[in-house]
Structure formats: structure tokens, C-alpha cells
């Protein structure tokens, strides 16, 4: 038995969410008394062996001389062929956009039980019971997996990152891939320098900004704080901001360390996508805005006065 960790990458670079997944998988392997093995798909610019610092003893790099496929069904087949070689393995994914696509496909191929949105190590390894977030993070459920092969996807920003381990051994393997069923005809990167799902700090704004022409002060605050920018759904629907910045139940679900919401009332659909943030700061001129009930800190005031003052204070603190 081994614990296999699927390492999330983008454009040949290992993503931040992979460090959490590797740490979780390493701790789970230690709990079970088995080996932790990372699975790296395709060519990467990072040194695969350096990922051993997160606790894994071995990295299996699949088809290292080829770019990672864009087709989830192709990747799922490769993962299943490597991690499914053992009849009782545990396979760990990140509950990212990539993991959400891959984990169910691998689960179907291996006829293995899958628990998504996991937020902690198993409470019992005898029955393999894990805790997962449900109802948009408002509650938790304890779920038992009864199949021999078990699949888990870990909620981003829900598990501490380990570091300081020894370099991992790297094994390059070549696996025949199925013919892709999809092809990418165009790529359009987000204007954000930081990915929303990877950002530690997010500055978000809503209709209280009155129009797209006022977004400059939001971008300046975000740049000063080293944050990604986001928006509420009405803002994206009005085309003030691109839809990839929309956070909420019908947009991107995030879990940053700090979430700053400016001019957003805090409808339940928006809260569902940001309520896993560790600290929430709300700036709104309406003292009755529902968002204040979910906030750790709140500022009742006009965003057009508060935001420039906050930006100036952050710059002063940084000596900029």
C-alpha cells in the first residue's frame, strides 16, 4: 500500500495548492505507516526532487519529455495506470479546478470511492473516515470509504504546509497515453498577476464602486498589498470586470488568508464562495449590510474615502 499524491501544475510550474496536497499525503502516509509518492505529469521547469521537502520520499514523473496534456481523460488514464497498480492505494488530489475534473474520472476508472473537499486527516484509519466540508463550508460531514482503493481531494488552504524534508528520489516513467478527445484552440490568461485560488490576500469590490472607471483605486490597493483582485457577480454580469474575477457560489470559491470586501452587501451566494477565508474585512457605508455579520473586522464608511486612506496607510507601513 502507498499514498500517491497527484501534483497540480500549470504551464510547467508546480502550483501552490500542490504543496498542501503533498504535505497532507505525506502526513497521511505516516499515519498509515506506508510510503508517500508524488505523481508529476509531463515536463516541468521545477526540480522534481526538491518536492521531497514536503514529506514525500519519491516522485514519479510521467512522460517527462512531453508537455502535460490538456485533456483530463488522458491525464486520468495515466494516473490510474500508475497509482492503480496497487490494489489498496490511496490517491490524493487538490480540490482545485484540475482536481475536480481529474478525481471523478480516476474514481470511475478504478471503481474507487472518492471523497471531495476533505479538510483533515482520517479520524479513523481502521474504517477510513474523513472529514469534508458540506453546504458551501457551513457544515462538515464524516464520510467512510469502503473500497480498497481510496481517493481524496483536499480543499485548498485547509491544511498546513510542511517543509524541511530531504530531497525525493525521482523516477521517470513512460506511459502510453490515449488519444486526446479535446483540443485547445486558444488560451487567454487572466489579467491578474496572482491566481485567485492561489492568492493569500484578495481585494474584492462590488456595485458600491458605481462603475468600472473607479476600479483603479481597487487595483492600487491590491498592488500595494500584494493581493489578487476579485469582484461580486453583479459586477461581472455588468461587464465592469472579467468573469474570471467573480467570486461566490456561482463563481470561483476561494480561501485566502485575508479577504477584503469593498462595497459588497454580502448576499448568501457571495458568502458561500469566500466563507473559508481566514480573516474577512468588510468596507461598506451601509451599517446594516449583511456582510458585517460574517466579518472579522468592519469599517462603516464611504469606499471612496476609506480605500485611498487604507492604501496610503499600507504604503507608509511598507515604507513605500
Query: In the predicted model, is pLDDT for residue 192 greater than 80?
Result: no
Question: Domain of 284: which CATH number?
Answer: 3.40.50.1220
| Other beta carbons less than 10 A from residue 183's beta carbon | 7
Q: Do 169 and 209 fall into the same domain?
A: no
Query: Domain range holding 236?
Result: 201-318
Q: Do 266 and 129 fall into the same domain?
A: no
DSSP bridge partners of 36:
3
Q: Do 125 and 18 fall into the same domain?
A: yes
Domain end call among 130, 154, 173: 173
Q: Do 157 and 210 fall into the same domain?
A: no
pLDDT-derived band at 191 (thresholds 50, 70, 90) equals low
Q: Is residue 195 part of a domain?
A: no
- Return the closest-CA partner of residue 271 out of 182, 186, 206: 206
Query: In the predicted model, is pLDDT for residue 30 greater than 90?
Result: yes
Q: Is residue 294 part of a domain?
A: yes
H-helix or E-strand spanning residue 284 = strand 279-284
What is the C-alpha separation between 59 and 103, in angstroms, rounded? 19
Q: Do 39 and 165 fall into the same domain?
A: yes
Mean pLDDT (the chain, rounded): 92
Tally of residues, the chain:
320
The position carrying cell 490517491 is 91
Query: In the predicted model, is pLDDT for residue 53 greater than 90?
Result: yes
For 282-297, what is the mean pLDDT?
Answer: 96
What is the C-alpha separation between 210 and 76, in angstroms, rounded? 45
Q: Do 63 and 153 fall into the same domain?
A: yes
Q: Do 62 and 108 fall into the same domain?
A: yes
Query: In the predicted model, is pLDDT for residue 189 greater than 80?
Result: no
As for how many domains the chain has, the answer is 2
Contact 96, 17 (CB under 8 A): yes
What is the C-alpha separation between 233 and 285, in angstroms, rounded? 20
What is the C-alpha separation between 224 and 87, in angstroms, rounded? 51
Q: Do 256 and 163 fall into the same domain?
A: no
C-alpha cell at 43: 515536463
- Return the closest-CA partner of residue 1 out of 200, 150, 101: 150
pLDDT-derived band at 214 (thresholds 50, 70, 90) equals very high
Q: Do 62 and 104 fall into the same domain?
A: yes
For 190-198, what is the mean pLDDT?
Answer: 74
- Return the closest-CA partner of residue 19 out of 62, 72, 67, 56: 56
pLDDT-derived band at 110 (thresholds 50, 70, 90) equals very high
- E strand intervals along 17-77: 35-41, 58-62
Q: Do 124 and 260 fall into the same domain?
A: no
- Return the closest-CA partner of residue 254 out of 237, 279, 234: 279
Query: In the predicted model, is pLDDT for residue 104 greater than 80?
Result: yes
pLDDT-derived band at 266 (thresholds 50, 70, 90) equals very high
Query: In the predicted model, is pLDDT for residue 4 greater than 90?
Result: yes
Q: Do 9 and 135 fall into the same domain?
A: yes
Summarised one tens digit per residue, pLDDT across range 118-138 is 999 998 778 899 999 888 777
Q: Is residue 192 part of a domain?
A: no
What is the C-alpha separation between 196 and 56, in angstroms, rounded? 27
Question: Domain of 34: which CATH number?
Answer: 3.40.50.620
Domain end call among 118, 153, 173: 173
Q: Is residue 182 part of a domain?
A: no
Q: Is residue 183 part of a domain?
A: no
Q: Do 150 and 222 fall into the same domain?
A: no
Spatial neighbors of 287 by CB under 8 A, at least 6 apart, are: 300
Amino acid at each position: 500500500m502507498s499514498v500517491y499524491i497527484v501534483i497540480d501544475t500549470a504551464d510547467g510550474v508546480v502550483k501552490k495548492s500542490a504543496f498542501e496536497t503533498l504535505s497532507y499525503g505525506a502526513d497521511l502516509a505516516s499515519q498509515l505507516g506506508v510510503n508517500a509518492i508524488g505523481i508529476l505529469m509531463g515536463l516541468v521547469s521545477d526540480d522534481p526532487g526538491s518536492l521531497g521537502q514536503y514529506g514525500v520520499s519519491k516522485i514519479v514523473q510521467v512522460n517527462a519529455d512531453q508537455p502535460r496534456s490538456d485533456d483530463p481523460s488522458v491525464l486520468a488514464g495515466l494516473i490510474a495506470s500508475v497509482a492503480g497498480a496497487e490494489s489498496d492505494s490511496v490517491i490524493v488530489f487538490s480540490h482545485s479546478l484540475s482536481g475536480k475534473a481529474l478525481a471523478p474520472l480516476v474514481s470511475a476508472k478504478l471503481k474507487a470511492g472518492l471523497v471531495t473537499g476533505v479538510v483533515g486527516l482520517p479520524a479513523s484509519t481502521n474504517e477510513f473516515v474523513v472529514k469534508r466540508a458540506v453546504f458551501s463550508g457551513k457544515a462538515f460531514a464524516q464520510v467512510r470509504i469502503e473500497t480498497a482503493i481510496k481517493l481524496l481531494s483536499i480543499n485548498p488552504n485547509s491544511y498546513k504546509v510542511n517543509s524541511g524534508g530531504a530531497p525525493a528520489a525521482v523516477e521517470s516513467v513512460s506511459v502510453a497515453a490515449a488519444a486526446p478527445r479535446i483540443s485547445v484552440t486558444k488560451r487567454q490568461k487572466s489579467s491578474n498577476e496572482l491566481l485567485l485560488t492561489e492568492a493569500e490576500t484578495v481585494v474584492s469590490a462590488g456595485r458600491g464602486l458605481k462603475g468600472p472607471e473607479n476600479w483603479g483605486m481597487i487595483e492600487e490597493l491590491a498592488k500595494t498589498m500584494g493581493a489578487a483582485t476579485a469582484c461580486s457577480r453583479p459586477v461581472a454580469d455588468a461587464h465592469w470586470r472579467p468573469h474570471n474575477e467573480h467570486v461566490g457560489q456561482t463563481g470561483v470559491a476561494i480561501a485566502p488568508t485575508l479577504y477584503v470586501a469593498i462595497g459588497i452587501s454580502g448576499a448568501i451566494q457571495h458568502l458561500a464562495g469566500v466563507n473559508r477565508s481566514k480573516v474577512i474585512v468588510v468596507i461598506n457605508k451601509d451599517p446594516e449590510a449583511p456582510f458585517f455579520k460574517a466579518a472579522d473586522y468592519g469599517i462603516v464608511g464611504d469606499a471612496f474615502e476609506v480605500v485611498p486612506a487604507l492604501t496610503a496607510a499600507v504604503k507608509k507601513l511598507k515604507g513605500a
